């Protein structure tokens, strides 16, 4: 019962945020910006975003092979797009991870290994995003000269240091044993199972650093494609949005749906997009930020539809 109530809360938050944002802008202006969009550039953005999702699938495939899970690349791409579909149309981002795990475990009959691979894939992706955000935060402050963004850049740098420390703790057997003692304390004992799963996911790659570097590189390539999608959408709408800011703000935007519960990021993404590019960046107006973010949301939904069709086809075959 609590789960359903929480899911309903996520839908309410998404719809509430969207309605609130719509009251803060000139709807006629937003509609006019979107109506004048260059459809060719939007089509290219859609193709690039599908390419970014395929890159995520390739990253996961590399991690799976390192674990010894014999899954074909074509199948892994199917699992990835199915997960992407569930991410967008379920009230939680983790819904996509569960879908990926379930389909992989069903086909390989390796439940534990499948779960660990999904966890590791998620960790590598998040670490890539926070690394890029931290680097670009330095660029913003020391190269572009946006000292007013120093606090946000410092926060990104701190998150990177914490993430790097976390990986070090999970990779080192000696540090792992020390930290496990902490999780024996009454306050932390409930988190012990989660820590063990994370640690187990990382430990199997301890002697395969090249795999982690390759996965990071592929993840970075997917992020570059996603950033270019943001740029193309802005260009399609006739809005000037410097690419250097996209490389700083876009990785941080990826964390928004993880922080605030929502339906596939709807409402939350739009709110944070306006916060970063309008409120903090002073680059575009609220009308323009909502126009870009809503168009991006439409691209997310459209690009995830193949995953829904693949899931339905797989479901029909199993029946």
253-265 pLDDT per residue, tens = 888 777 666 666 6
- Lowest mean pLDDT: which of 82-91, 127-136, 140-149, 231-240? 82-91
Quick one: pLDDT at residue 264?
64
DSSP collapsed to 3 states, 154-178: HHHHHHHHHHHHHHHHHHCHHHHHH
Phi, psi of 188 (to 5 degrees): -105, -5
Quick one: pLDDT at residue 247?
96
Cβ–Cβ under 8 Å, residues 203 and 171: yes
**Average pLDDT over the chain, rounded to an integer:** 83
Under DSSP, the state recorded for 90 is: S
In this predicted structure, the answer to whether residue 83 has a pLDDT above a threshold of 60 is: yes
Higher per-residue pLDDT: 59 or 12: 59
Average of pLDDT values for 295-316?
83
Quick one: pLDDT at residue 235?
97
Its pTM stands at 0.86
Quick one: pLDDT at residue 217?
96
In this predicted structure, the answer to whether residue 194 has a pLDDT above a threshold of 70 is: no
Cβ–Cβ under 8 Å, residues 234 and 241: yes
In this predicted structure, the answer to whether residue 318 has a pLDDT above a threshold of 70 is: no
Average of pLDDT values for 286-311?
89
Q: Which of 46-50, 105-109, 161-165, 262-266 has the highest mean pLDDT?
A: 46-50
Quick one: pLDDT at residue 131?
96
Higher per-residue pLDDT: 154 or 105: 154
Name the token pair of 131.
């690394």
**Confidence bin at 311 (pLDDT 50/70/90):** confident
C-alpha 131/C-alpha 114 separation (Å) is 26
Quick one: pLDDT at residue 3?
52
In this predicted structure, the answer to whether residue 20 has a pLDDT above a threshold of 80 is: no
Quick one: pLDDT at residue 146?
94
Domain residue spans in the chain? Answer: 2-11+43-318
C-alpha 163/C-alpha 123 separation (Å) is 9
Quick one: pLDDT at residue 68?
81
């Amino acid at each position: 019962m609590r789960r359903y109530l929480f899911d309903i809360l996520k839908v309410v938050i998404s719809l509430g945020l969207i309605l609130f944002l719509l009251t803060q802008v000139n709807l006629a202006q937003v509609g006019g910006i979107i109506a004048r969009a260059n459809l060719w550039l939007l089509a290219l953005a859609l193709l690039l975003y599908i390419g970014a999702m395929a890159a995520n699938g390739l990253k996961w495939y590399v991690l799976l092979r390192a674990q010894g899970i014999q899954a074909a690349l074509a199948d892994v791409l199917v699992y990835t797009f199915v997960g992407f579909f569930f991410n967008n149309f379920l009230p939680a981002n983790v819904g996509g991870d569960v879908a990926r795990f379930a389909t992989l475990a069903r086909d390989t009959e390796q439940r534990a290994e499948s779960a660990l691979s999904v966890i590791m894939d998620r960790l590598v992706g998040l670490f890539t995003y926070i690394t890029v955000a931290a680097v670009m935060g330095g660029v913003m402050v020391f190269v572009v000269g946006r000292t007013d963004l120093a606090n946000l850049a410092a926060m990104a740098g701190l998150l990177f240091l914490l993430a790097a420390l976390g990986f070090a703790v999970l990779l080192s057997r000696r540090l792992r044993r020390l930290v496990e003692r902490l999780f024996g304390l009454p306050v932390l004992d409930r988190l012990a199972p989660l820590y063990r799963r994370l640690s187990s996911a990382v430990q199997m790659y301890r002697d395969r650093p090249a795999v982690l570097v390759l996965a990071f590189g592929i993840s970075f390539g997917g992020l570059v494609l996603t950033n270019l999608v943001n740029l193309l959408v802005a260009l399609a709408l006739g809005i000037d949005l410097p690419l250097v800011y996209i490389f700083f703000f876009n990785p941080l935007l990826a964390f928004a749906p993880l922080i605030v519960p929502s339906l596939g990021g709807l409402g939350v993404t739009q709110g944070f997009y306006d916060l970063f590019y309008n409120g903090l960046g002073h680059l575009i107006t609220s009308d323009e930020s909502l126009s870009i973010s809503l168009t991006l949301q439409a691209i997310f939904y459209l690009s995830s539809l193949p995953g829904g069709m693949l899931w339905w086809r797989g479901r029909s075959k199993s029946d």
